[in-house]
Structure 1
Amino acid sequence: MLLKKSLSALLLGSALTATAAQAEVKIGVVTSSTGPIAMVGTSQKNSIPLLPASAGGETIRYISLDDSSDPTESVKAFKKLIDEEHVDAIIGPSGSANAMGVIQFAAESGTPMLAPVGSAAVVLPMTEQKKWVFKTTQNDDLIAKALVDDMAAKGIKTLGLIGTADPYGENWSLVVAKLCAAAGIKLTAVERFQRQDTSITGQSLKVLMANPDAVLIAAPGSSSVLPQTTLKDQGYQGQIYQTHGAALDPFLKLGGKAVEGTILAASLMLVIDEVADSPSKTIAADYMQRYNDKYGENPATFGANVYDAGLLLENAIPAALEKGTPGSAEFRNALRDALEQTNELAATQGVYSMTPEDHSGFDERGREMITVQDGSWKLLK
């Protein structure tokens, strides 16, 4: 009898231990901390230790993988996290093309994916697959509307566009063409280039021949610099606009005098000392201070996109725990539903309010009009 009681107690203890282990929330994170997108991915990887450590009374464990900026490696990382680690959600990957290539795996496995990428194509148009994806950067149309409004206010009538030949540049071309048509601005030249190109002389000459009043460069990270320096070297004197893909300090260092006067719409983090107090400013300032304390430098806004993903998950996990146990399909489904119901959640980039149709959730509070002045970011006055 004593042996049976001891055995029962042992089995009960094992069951309780297993239950406790299952309750741990596992979040995969895929970043491009090496390779061509490393300027974006490094600050994202560095932000992982700053993410929430628990939510709803449960520990959160993050499993970080580097895809070396290679879309094929992104797929391998996603499959590993889903099939071997059985994660409850995935943050990443860093690049738009990389993200587009893994959506099907998130959907097939029923794993929520929080994409810290620029292209709105990861969530628009909404489909059965994309309903599993949530985007932690401002959609292209929100940023583009601010830029086109500024162009119209300045009396710009013609616009040239140089964009990357990938989902980021392609979606920007579509969005800008529609907005320009409504604003009475004519697109006189649209050129494409590859991120890894070391020369885009031909494309920039074609734009110069069209003689536009302004040029918009639609390229993320370091790839945003070369088109602008090339245009300036060739004597272009008009206004140059950039997307939020250029919103990082290395853009200033790499571009030097060639990027003076650039106009872009981007995160308040670039001009945090100039913006009015708000919940987002408080959260962004705390994140920036913690990042600086750990790494001795300020984070790029791209790192904040991963940080915001952590805040979205922290907010959604308690509701999901009411429907299922971490590690289960029920929990992942409930987590997806809870993310979609996010309402007025302040984070570093702005305020998120998701809907079934909008998995980015930003409004005008998610952007500031910014220019480059004396080698620094300044609010556009």
Structure 2
Amino acid sequence: MLFKKAVSTLLLGALCASMTAQADVKIGVISSSTGPIALVGIPQKNSIALMPSEAGGEAIRYVALDDGSDPTATVKAFKKLLDEEKVDAIIGPSGSPNAMGVIQFAAESGTPLLAPVGTAAVVLPMNEQKKWVFKTTQNDELIAEALTEHMVKNGVKTLGMIGTADPYGENWGKVMSALAAKNGIKIVANERFQRQDTSVTGQSLKVLSQRPDAVLIAAPGGSAVMPQTTLVDQGYKGQVYQTHGAALPAFLQLGGRKVEGTILAASLMLVIDEVPDDHPSKAVARKYIDDYTKLNGSAPATFGANVYDAGLLLENAIPSALKKGQPGTPEFRAALRDALESTHELAGTQGVYNMSAEDHSGFDVRGRELITVKGGKWVLLK
């Protein structure tokens, strides 16, 4: 009897060990598919179905939550994924302020966070908390350098700025101030507005009063449209630049003729048919666009691709992490972080990723194209 009981115990232990070894890799995804930044969050939520379902012989399971664009709800969703779902990594949230508010929880729990947000402040300056964060969009400086080069070549000497009053707009103000000073461009106005504002008349009048050669609008998603249309309505005739935050179909639809001639630096996805076939990201981007369009009936915004690329980064990192721990354990999460940091020449939809301890975004110039709006369409600026 004792022998049978011992055998049963051993078999049960072996079964439990087997179940642990075969546990799914669980990934949380937080998006703002409702609320003020839904234009960003909806394509991100829609991209989950297209992401890898297996890596290293293990199934990947995604747990998706919507934070309604509310940073407080983001924190609640984040803690739910950590405490109840016991996820191995989290992708999201959609907004820069939302992401800044959960970095400490990612670090405290030792859980990799793949942030598909605009501001570089989630990974720079690097510190003990931010070493758990990986950013799947181009850092502001990479985009800003392309815009500044164009300004210099075209004789821009004075620049006005209108940006959101949040980490996205604030970091762009910091980055552009440094680049402008370095390149002999004077920033004559730097105004802020809230994403939910219904008017920026006061801010745009202050910018216009300084008669800048060009204006840069630093705002993500739909909030990028109103400052530009307001400037046009008030008679501004100078060049308007936008950041990669404006890289979505709705910018063209909402702005109409008033955004014609806009210049921005952003993902090759916007001009995929004009990009040379030998670009390392073209095939990846083309597949994502085609699969997304087939599933949803319309082409994706680049914001969706930022979540899709997070899936590719995890797919690439998981096999290495499995050698050091099992899903659901601190060892696995730590190994996953280390593997993400070692990403080398991984082609995503947005560009090529090369991560390091200092660089948790990993893009180079292959992650941007200089683009303009012509005839209501994105066109490669040549």
Shared fold per TM-score greater than 0.5: yes
CA displacement 1:92-147 (0-9 Å, x = unmatched) = 00000000000000000000000000000000000100000000000000000000
- Once residues 78 and 12 of structure 1 are traced to their aligned partners in structure 2, the CA distance between those partners, rounded to angstroms, is 33
Shift of 1:15: 1.8
Report SS of the residue matched to 2:63: strand
Report SS of the residue matched to 2:240: strand
Aligned to 2:285: 284
Report SS of the residue matched to 2:235: coil
Q: What amino acid sits opposite 1:173 in the alignment?
A: G
Aligned to 2:93: 93
> Residues 119-198 of structure 1 correspond to what in structure 2 (within 5 A)?
119-198=119-198
Aligned to 1:55: 55
Aligned to 2:352: 351
Is 1:235 aligned to 2:229, yes or no?
no
Aligned to 1:247: 247
Aligned to 2:376: 375
- Once residues 357 and 248 of structure 1 are traced to their aligned partners in structure 2, the CA distance between those partners, rounded to angstroms, is 30
Q: What amino acid sits opposite 2:378 in the alignment?
A: W
Aligned to 2:201: 201
Q: What amino acid sits opposite 1:87 in the alignment?
A: V
Shift of 1:5: 7.3
- Higher mean Cα deviation, 219-228 or 5-14? 5-14
Identity of aligned residues (%): 72
Shift of 1:14: 3.4
C-alpha contact (below 8 Å) 2:281/2:348 kept by paired residues:
yes
Q: What amino acid sits opposite 2:47 in the alignment?
A: S
Q: What amino acid sits opposite 1:237 in the alignment?
A: K
Runs of at least 5 residues in structure 1 that lack an aligned partner in the other structure = none
Q: What amino acid sits opposite 1:179 in the alignment?
A: L
CA displacement 1:54-100 (0-9 Å, x = unmatched) = 11110100000000000000000100001111100000000000000
> Residues 208-357 of structure 1 correspond to what in structure 2 (within 5 A)?
208-277=208-277, 278-357=279-358
Aligned to 1:81: 81
Shift of 1:13: 5.6
- Once residues 105 and 17 of structure 2 are traced to their aligned partners in structure 1, the CA distance between those partners, rounded to angstroms, is 32
- Once residues 380 and 38 of structure 2 are traced to their aligned partners in structure 1, the CA distance between those partners, rounded to angstroms, is 27
Shift of 1:7: 2.6
Q: What amino acid sits opposite 1:88 in the alignment?
A: D
CA displacement 1:20-79 (0-9 Å, x = unmatched) = 45x310000000000001000000000001110011110100000000000000000100
Runs of at least 5 residues in structure 2 that lack an aligned partner in the other structure = none
Q: What amino acid sits opposite 1:347 in the alignment?
A: G
Shift of 1:334: 0.5
- Could you say what the CA RMSD is over the residues aligned between the two structures, in angstroms? 1.2
Q: What amino acid sits opposite 1:59 in the alignment?
A: A
C-alpha contact (below 8 Å) 2:325/2:335 kept by paired residues:
yes
Rate the CA distance shift 1:316–1:156 in 2: closer, same or farther, 3 A: same
C-alpha contact (below 8 Å) 2:131/2:357 kept by paired residues:
yes
TM-score by length of 2: 0.98
CA displacement 1:217-239 (0-9 Å, x = unmatched) = 00000000000000000000000
CA displacement 1:298-341 (0-9 Å, x = unmatched) = 11100000000000000011111111111111111110011001
Is 1:366 aligned to 2:359, yes or no?
no
Shift of 1:19: 1.8
- Once residues 39 and 8 of structure 1 are traced to their aligned partners in structure 2, the CA distance between those partners, rounded to angstroms, is 54
The alignment of Structure 1 onto Structure 2 pairs a total of residues equal to: 380
